[in-house]
Amino acid sequence: MITNNLLACITALTSAGTLLAADSSLAETQYLSFQVQTGLPGYASQFHPEPGHFSLTKAQLEEFVHSVVKAIGMTGDARHKLAFAVGPLCFDMPDDETRQFIRDSFAVAQENDLAVALHLDDSMGWGARKDLISNPDNIETADWQQIPNTGRRMDWSRTPTKFAPQMCFNSPAIQAAVKERAALIGAVVKKETDALVAAGKAHLFAGLIAGWETMIGRDFETDHPLGYRALSHRAFSESNPPKVPDLERIEVVHEFIELWASSLHAAGIDHEKIFCHIAFTPQGLDHNETAPTTSHFSPPEVAFGSSYRPGFSTYPEGNAFKEIHVSLAAHGSPGWISAEGANVSPTGMPSGLTMETYLGRMFNHGAVITNVFAWGIGGEAMRGHFFRRAAEDPEPLAAYAKFLRGEPLVESGPTGFSPEVLQAKMQRIQQELPTWLQSSEQQSQVMPMMTRIKTLMKDKQWQEVDKAADEILLLISPSKDK
């Protein structure tokens, strides 16, 4: 007969086992990663590649890793691990160079007790692939006339950056090239990860980020959205247009992400280690377009697929984190990554958050990797750049060390300036100003104030923008702002 005491012990053990099983997801390593950029034209890199190369040397990778470890003072453990991400690994990077770069990256990781993540550029750096870019069928168009675009527009700075033409994601030749490229990368990664497993260091592979803000972009010359070539491959035309063209282009993006991920998995990479990288949240205060166009046909739903886990750019603008968290919850709260981010807006707008809070908004909400951009970019000439300060100042260094020690990250509200509050003020002005202008005789007073706001925004003087917005709101709706 089982005694009451023995029954109690069995019940306790059974309960403990159930709790452990239910909590098994917590055994997954969380990675604090820092991106080291290769020499793809248009990207700010930490180093200049050797002439004729896109990749960095092993010595350059070691220099980057040593600078990060020296500043933070630790590499963490198998649960909270320091990592570095290498990329963009693009189509333009020759096959042999790609293989050697991956091997060097794994060697640096193992020799320095850091994890490594590989960050693939899935569609931007392909201008050197003359076999692909010479075929008009592989290049996107901005209308049904099917005239190939001559360059893709990226608004990464005050002056738009011109990249190679937007590729057509569903052309047969592009899809064949993706499979070939994924097989090459996957074979090398499989061999290196097998060696880590054999050495008992499987946690030193953080994962493979299959994409670089995957999207169907805009034409550089006209700023018109692209994707009509892809629509033609889906049997649509000017005489037979799709009912909802935006939804069709969204599906093209989703299928392209799945193609990369499934092809990498076919080469031997675990689904759980493959992540996408999209950017659906707004960057800056001006978002007047419809949602699919603003996200370049890459809304949050394309981040969820059968062959990969979700990954996002995580710049702290507007309701970015809230939108990401809501999207994750709607899909069962899977493990996810910040594939790219910094605790500052690309516009230079401060986040108002501590780095501990910034990290907490990811790691406390199921993030597997947080990949910080801008460490060391531009060398000494850019040491004072706002991106560098956001990544390398004493406050973020302390937050990194706290995470790597396994201590809880405490999330707090904005201190001082808040982008969320400023965005709400600007939206109020946009909503209330037209009505006020129709009924007020003080138009001559408010127009110089609006002009001043535009100048301040252009100069990235965000605290002054905030003050100017307060002045306008006090004028146009004084009863609400007393």
The answer on pLDDT for 446 being more than 70 is: yes
CATH number of the domain enclosing 191? 3.20.20.80
Asked if residue 433 is part of any domain, the answer here is: yes
Domain count within the chain: 2
303/255 same-domain check: yes
pTM over 0.85: no
Asked if residue 461 is part of any domain, the answer here is: yes
Taking CA 478 as the corner, what is the angle to CA 473 and CA 482, rounded to the nearest 5 degrees? 105
Q: Is 271 exposed, middle or buried (0-12, 13-18, 19+ CB in 10 A)?
A: middle
For 158, the token pair is: 């005050």
210/306 same-domain check: yes
Identify each DSSP E strand in 148-237 by its residue range: 152-154, 161-163, 205-210, 218-219
63/165 same-domain check: yes
The domain in which residue 323 lies consists of: 27-404
What count of residues does the chain have? 482
Neighbouring-strand partners of residue 36:
86
**Spatial CA neighbour of 184 closest among 116, 91, 103, 99:** 99
Please report the pLDDT score of residue 48 as a whole number: 87
Mean pLDDT value across residues 256-263: 98
233/274 same-domain check: yes
Please identify, among 363, 379, 404, the residue that sits at the C-terminal boundary of a domain: 404
Asked if residue 20 is part of any domain, the answer here is: no
Mean pLDDT value across residues 382-399: 92
Asked if residue 414 is part of any domain, the answer here is: no
347/454 same-domain check: no
Write down the residue that tokens 């168009």 correspond to.
141
Q: Is 394 exposed, middle or buried (0-12, 13-18, 19+ CB in 10 A)?
A: exposed
Asked if residue 10 is part of any domain, the answer here is: no
105/80 same-domain check: yes
The answer on pLDDT for 462 being more than 90 is: no
333/424 same-domain check: no
366/467 same-domain check: no
Asked if residue 4 is part of any domain, the answer here is: no
Please report the pLDDT score of residue 193 as a whole number: 98
pLDDT by residue (tens digit) across 394-437?
999 999 999 999 999 999 877 666 666 777 788 788 888 888 77
116/158 same-domain check: yes
Asked if residue 237 is part of any domain, the answer here is: yes
CA distances to 125, 129, 146, 226, 229 from 138, rounded to whole Å, are: 14, 11, 11, 13, 8
CA distances to 33, 133, 339 from 217, rounded to whole Å, are: 27, 17, 19
374/467 same-domain check: no
pLDDT by residue (tens digit) across 264-321?
999 999 999 999 999 987 554 344 344 555 679 999 999 999 999 999 999 987 788 9
Please report the pLDDT score of residue 460 as a whole number: 65
Asked if residue 165 is part of any domain, the answer here is: yes
